[in-house]
Amino acid sequence: MTLGHLYLDPWDPRPCMLEQGNPVEVASDGGNRVYVISMQGTPGVHVSNQERLVDFLAKWKQKCGLNMTNQTMFEHCPGIYDRRRGYGLTISFLLCLQRAKDLGEKAAFVFEDDARLLDVTLCDKNSRAEYLSGLPDNVFLTFLGGHRFKYPKNTTGSFSPLSPQPFRETSRSFGTYGFAVPQHSLDILIETIKDDLLYGQRKKDDTHLNHKYLTVEKNWYLSAQRHNLKMYAANPLLVWHQEGYSNTWKRNRTNYFGNESDVRLHKQPKG
């Protein structure tokens, strides 16, 4: 089986748009689309996935209101089932990012279907574009949610006069469920993910560790370093993770807000 079989077939004949009619084959002007990874509709998955895509949109409307929600195109990135931990989600990341590249997006906003907004910063395309405009030119991507963030010493939150939201450089994180990738990083991140899928997890010395699981953020940090780019996280984070069944860990998880007080339900793989 080739990489093409892994990530191209689910898009045939077309990806699914939520409540927005058929996809429009033009580039959006700075985050008009939101890409949502969901296993709703994927055969053979846990029953909890049946309404999660619908629930994501309902919770977005609840936070943002109908008018701002209608300004956004929600595009479904098919959730892929794979017994190896992290592989299915990684293939879905690739689906989202390749689609964003093909459409000429200026930025790709990617969420899992159990991600929830903490405030209205990301509700419409103008506010999303404003948030991104405050990031420095050397950004590889910015995490909107996640946990176990580690920040380099002697760095502080950076504030942009164009945006009310600060951000911080981060040197490590784990378990993102929402992130934004500027256009200049799409090719790099796509190739990094393809390398993960074809050759397995990499170690710091650039050798491949295994094909049993993927902790993709580790390789994203390494790729950013190789290209002299930086990883950033919203500060405070803009997205939290709703409790429920985890397709990655095959058990229920509590709410995650990205704070130190979050209960740690699993250990990060070594290597």
Looking at domain 3-253, does it have CATH number 3.90.550?
yes
For 122-149, the pLDDT digits (tens) are 998 888 988 888 888 999 999 999 888 8
Burial of 150 (0-12, 13-18, 19+ CB in 10 A): exposed
The predicted model gives 25-38 an average pLDDT of 67
Q: What is the mean pLDDT of the chain?
A: 77
Q: Which range, 80-89, 94-103, 250-259, is most confident?
A: 94-103
The pLDDT of residue 241: 86
Out of 44-48, 92-96, 248-252, 257-261, the most confident range is 92-96
Q: Nearest Cα to 24, choosing from 89, 78, 99, 85?
A: 99
Whether the CB-CB separation of 178 and 112 falls below 8 Å is answered with: yes
H helix intervals, 105-264:
125-133, 183-199, 216-226
pLDDT of residue 155: 57
pLDDT band with cut points at 50, 70 and 90 for residue 255: low
* Whether the Cβ atoms of residue 196 and residue 217 lie closer than 8 Å to each other: no
246: phi then psi, degrees, rounded to nearest 5: -100, 120
Handedness of CA 23, 26, 32, 37 (dihedral sign): positive
If one compares 176 and 17, the residue with the highest pLDDT of the two is 176
Question: How confident is the model at residue 105, as a pLDDT?
Answer: 92
Mean pLDDT lowest among 14-18, 74-78, 96-100, 172-176: 14-18
Give the residue from 130, 128, 26 showing the smallest Cα distance to 72: 128
Encode burial over 230-256: b for 16+ CB neighbours within 10 A, e otherwise: bbbbbbebbbbbbebbbbbeeeebeeb
Average pLDDT estimate for 17-46: 63
Say what the pLDDT of residue 94 is: 94
Q: Provide the whole-model pTM.
A: 0.80
More confident residue, 205 or 269: 205
Domain ranges of the chain: 3-253
Per-residue pLDDT at 45: 76
Beta carbons within 8 Å of 254's beta carbon, 6+ residues apart = 243, 262, 263, 265
Cβ neighbours of residue 219 closer than 8 Å, sequence gap 6 or more: 192, 195, 196, 201, 202
Q: Are strands 230-234 and 139-150 parallel, antiparallel or unpaired?
A: parallel
Q: Is 104 left (phi over 0), alpha (psi -120 to 50) or beta?
A: left
**Residue 82 pLDDT greater than 60, yes or no:** yes
Residue with the bigger pLDDT between 68 and 153: it is 68
Percent of all residues in the chain with a pLDDT value above 70, rounded to a whole number: 69
The first and second tokens of residue 226, run together, are: 């190789």
What phi, psi does 146 have (nearest 5°)?
155, -170
| pLDDT at position 123 | 93
